[in-house]
Amino acid sequence: MNDARQNILERIRKANQLMPQADSFEAVRARIARHARGPQPQWQQDTMTRFLQKVELSAASYERVKTHKEITDAVIRYMESHSLNGKLVCAGTELLSRIQWPEKLSVEARAATTDDKVVLTEAFAGIAETGSIVMCSGKESPVSLNFLPDFFISVIHLNTVVDRMEDVWEKLREQGAGMPRAINVITGPSRTADVEQIIQMGAHGPRQVHLLLLE
Amino acid sequence: MESTAHNFLRNTHKALNDRGLQSALKNARRGFVDKRRNAVDALPEFEALRQTAIDIKSHSLLNLDQYLIQFEQQVQASGGQVHWAETPTQATQIVTDLCRSVNAEKITKGKTMVGEEIGLNDALIESGMQPVETDLGEYIIQLAEEPPSHIIAPAVHKSRQQIADLFHEHHAPLGFKQPLEDPQAIVNEARTILRNEYVTADVGITGANLLIAETGSTVLVTNEGNGDLTASLPRMHIVVASIEKVVPTMEDAAVILRLLARSATGQEITAYTTFFTGPRREADLDGPEQFHVVLVDNHRSEMLGNQYRDMLRCIHCGACLNHCPIYSAIGGHAYGWVYPGPMGAVLTPLMAGLKEGSHLPQASTFCGRCEEVCPLSIPLPGLLREHRFQIHAQKISTSQSRWALALWAFVARHPNLYRWLTRIGIGLLSRIAGKHKKFRRLPFASAWTNQRDFPAPQGPTFMSSIRSANAKSDKDS
């Protein structure tokens, strides 16, 4: 199939010779390195107000928590109110593994299976523009947690909420760890409008998204 | 996919007389149009984003070779592989070989229009594998054994009753016997059934909305989350993408994403936007062991060098379909191939052949709404006109129509003759019509008069009215 690669690239080059001028190798590299942003949508509210407004519009819910104990309480309350049995799958992040759980609750840090109903994760960042949360895959944050269980609870540190998607990219680059296998930008529960254009929640991913805003 | 575009006239007839289809189209039309309008109005920066997106795509196309190579290097650096396919046959060969290399039996699929373009499902089935569509719309039409009728809402032509019947037929043997009365019940049943497919599949195939040269990432936009389950649970993830999807950076992707969801469904952003980069990392608890990207050309590098270059800016949002009076009247299937609506009427003749698709560019009123709503301002009517020109020049149209055009062109180039003929013609028609002032039947115009009366011309021609008006004003002054 190397022929295909060669043929396609040759046709592209021939086609572009007809155009004004292609950029040099250095110019293309420099264009990438600049990471120039497009027009940035503006809004009046402060970052947090905008974030919460958009979270609500995305049909996700949220509550504020201050301590580990409050995270525990909020999760248990949420599970009880949705009649979820005493089993929780939890991401293995540093914060979440330090949380003390009551004995009646079985908590496992692992990837999700189709039997898991509820999951607790920790978000990498929040995006105020759209009310999205950003999940980066890794050993402490398996992707299946974000999609398999019906109920998705995520802790998000308020200081990780940024204005726009581009701010997340900047943050990722600053960390210098390269791209994770998957970055999931999640905005509310899973949905579909494939039956008569009527929006139904819980298509294949979580039916409900609940955010715990950690101050 | 086998094209029936040459049967466009017959397809159209069928569509116009299909009551179920007509009511589904009517239902979809308002929704898409209003939602897009609201979303665009709510973002003052939309126009600026559109201009920037045009610049990004033009720049990416101008340096497409460099960005594809950069993309390839980055995919390899993250542990994945890139495969290049000039033709649909090469592409399906690559995919089936990859699937065979892991002894795949079941293959889950996210919605991929390029997959439809290359006939991927048929190729997999022929190779003894079982493809399972996971996007609800695609799943429905896979059960119905139909092609998609819309590029973002593949089952838009189906009513809930039709879907419920289809599910009953296919799911009852699996033990799902309860009647499905509302859309939620339909969605739930599909969810339950497909859950099992995700975890038992050997390979997951998805498309890509964008490719990012900087990082070697592929971007996938969905609302259901099916694409992510498809990509992440099986042992191998194959991305099928066309070559023009590449943009330089993550920032460039952000610009296009802001336009995409608004133009497609009227959302600010879809529920899931995912950036995939390579296979699972060593310490990861899940994710595929292998990550492959198949880059499909299929005439696109030719388009880069001809009059249809602008079409390569397309981000497949479907806005041109939703706003097209022709699409709204006949739906997607009548177009006879993978891509319907204005973008399909441009692409089908280029990919399936000008002769095969020659009816499609003719079915346009050139009203221009497609170009107006296109987030990349692709001059769709201009490209359709270019097709018409080629159809005429290459003598693909009927000899009668070419004669008629030649005759008209001759008359139009001789204004005096033109005025004389129209004066006679109009006088004659108006005299024949008499006091009814309309025709029930008219030779050479039965396509019109079979449906409605043809109004008879009234009064003198425009030119003679002007002349007498001028003469009158001369006399008055």
- A11·B254 Cβ contact <8 A: no
- ipTM of this model? 0.97
- Report yes or no: A58 at the B interface, CB cutoff 8 Å: yes
- H helical segments located in B226-357: 226-232, 250-264, 300-303, 319-322, 325-330, 341-351
- The 10s digit of each residue's pLDDT in B301-359 is 999 999 999 999 999 999 999 999 999 999 999 999 999 999 999 999 999 999 999 99
Give the Å distances, CA to CA, from B291 to B89, B104, B295: 21, 15, 13
CB atoms within 10 A of CB B468: 11
Residues A7 and A62 in one domain: no
Average pLDDT score over residue span B120-135 = 97
| Closest residue, chain B, to A180 (C-alpha) | B277
Most A-contacting residue of B32, B75, B221, B272 (CB-CB within 10 A), to test interface: B272
CA distance B52 to B74: 25
- pLDDT at residue A102 tops 70: yes
Residues of A within 8 A of B183 (CB-CB) are 195-196, 198, 200
Question: pLDDT: is A177 or B262 the higher one?
Answer: B262
Residues of A within 8 A of B229 (CB-CB) are 147-148, 204-205
Residues A97 and A120 in one domain: yes
Residue A1, pLDDT score: 52
Which residue among A28, A129, A147 sits closest to B228, beta carbon to beta carbon? A147
CB atoms within 10 A of CB A87: 14
Give the Å distances, CA to CA, from A119 to A97, A126, A152, B88, B331: 14, 18, 5, 42, 42
Q: What is the CA radius of gyration of chain A?
A: 21
- pLDDT at residue B264 tops 70: yes
Which residue among A11, A40, A194 sits closest to B153, beta carbon to beta carbon? A194
Residues A53 and A91 in one domain: yes
Secondary structure of residue B206 in the 3-state scheme: strand
DSSP annotation of A22 reads: P
pTM beyond 0.90: the answer is yes
- Report yes or no: A32 at the B interface, CB cutoff 8 Å: yes
Tell me the residues of chain A between 90 and 119 that have a Cβ less than 8 Å away from chain B. 110-111, 113-114
- B195·A165 Cβ contact <8 A: no
Secondary structure of residue B278 in the 3-state scheme: coil
Residues A2 and A61 in one domain: no
Compute CA B135 distance to the chain's CA centroid, rounded to the nearest angstrom.
Answer: 17
CA distance B254 to A198: 28
What phi and psi, each to the nearest 5 degrees, are found at residue B190? Answer: -65, -40
- pLDDT at residue B136 tops 90: yes
Residue B37, pLDDT score: 96
Angle at A58 between CA A56 and CA A63, to 5 degrees: 35
| Closest residue, chain B, to A135 (C-alpha) | B274
* CATH code, A171: 3.40.50.10420
Which residue among B43, B195, B278 sits closest to A41, beta carbon to beta carbon? B43
Maximum Cα–Cα distance for chain B, whole Å? 95
Phi/psi region, residue A196 (left: phi>0; alpha: psi -120 to 50; beta: rest), is left
Q: How many domains does chain A have?
A: 2
Interface size, chain A vs chain B, as Cβ–Cβ contacts under 8 Å: 272
The residue range of the domain holding A203 is 45-214
- Report yes or no: B85 at the A interface, CB cutoff 8 Å: yes
Token pair in block for residue A49:
């107000």
Domains annotated for chain B, with CATH where assigned, are 1-42+318-397 (no CATH), 43-301 (3.40.50.10420), 420-476 (no CATH)
Sign of CA dihedral B34, B182, B26, B227: positive
List Cβ neighbours of B154 (8 Å cut-off, separation of 6 or more): A194, B111, B135, B137, B138, B140, B141, B148
Give the Å distances, CA to CA, from B449 to B17, B169, B326, B331, B436: 17, 43, 20, 24, 15
DSSP annotation of A73 reads: H
- Report yes or no: B133 at the A interface, CB cutoff 8 Å: no
Which residue among A164, A192, A204 sits closest to B229, beta carbon to beta carbon? A204
Rounded to a whole number of angstroms, the distance from the CA of A115 to the nearest CA of chain B is 10
Residues A20 and A97 in one domain: no
Burial class of B169 by CB neighbour count within 10 A (0 to 12, 13 to 18, 19+): exposed
Residues A22 and A127 in one domain: no
Residue appearing with tokens 């039947």:
B441
Residues A163 and A63 in one domain: yes
| Closest residue, chain A, to B243 (C-alpha) | A8
* Helix H or strand E encompassing A157: strand A151-157
Rounded to a whole number of angstroms, the distance from the CA of A186 to the nearest CA of chain B is 5
Tell me the residues of chain A between 152 and 181 that have a Cβ less than 8 Å away from chain B. 164-166, 169, 178-181
Average pLDDT score over residue span B149-160 = 94
- Report yes or no: B75 at the A interface, CB cutoff 8 Å: no
The residue count of chain A comes to: 215
Residues A65 and A5 in one domain: no
Highest mean pLDDT among B24-28, B383-387, B422-426: B383-387
Which residue among B52, B223, B305 sits closest to A191, beta carbon to beta carbon? B223
Give the Å distances, CA to CA, from B220 to A15, B228, B241, B245, B261: 29, 8, 11, 12, 12
CA distance B402 to B132: 47
- pLDDT at residue A141 tops 70: yes
Residues of A within 8 A of B270 (CB-CB) are 187
CA distance B293 to B312: 19
- pLDDT at residue B161 tops 90: yes
- pLDDT at residue A194 tops 60: yes
Residues of B within 8 A of A14 (CB-CB) are 305
Residues A103 and A208 in one domain: yes
Give the Å distances, CA to CA, from A139 to A136, A147, B230: 10, 16, 20
DSSP annotation of B457 reads: P
Residues of B within 8 A of A165 (CB-CB) are 254, 257
Residues A32 and A49 in one domain: no
Angle at A186 between CA A184 and CA A191, to 5 degrees: 120
Average pLDDT score over residue span A144-166 = 97
Nearest to B231 by CA among A166, A131, A140, A205: A205
In single-letter form, the type of residue at position B374 comes to C
Rounded to a whole number of angstroms, the distance from the CA of B13 to the nearest CA of chain A is 23
Residues A123 and A169 in one domain: yes
Residues A1 and A104 in one domain: no
Average pLDDT score over residue span B28-38 = 90
CA distance B211 to B230: 18
Q: Residue-wise over B42-51: b if at least 16 C-beta within 10 A, else e?
A: ebeebeebbe
| Closest residue, chain A, to B134 (C-alpha) | A204
Residue B31, pLDDT score: 86
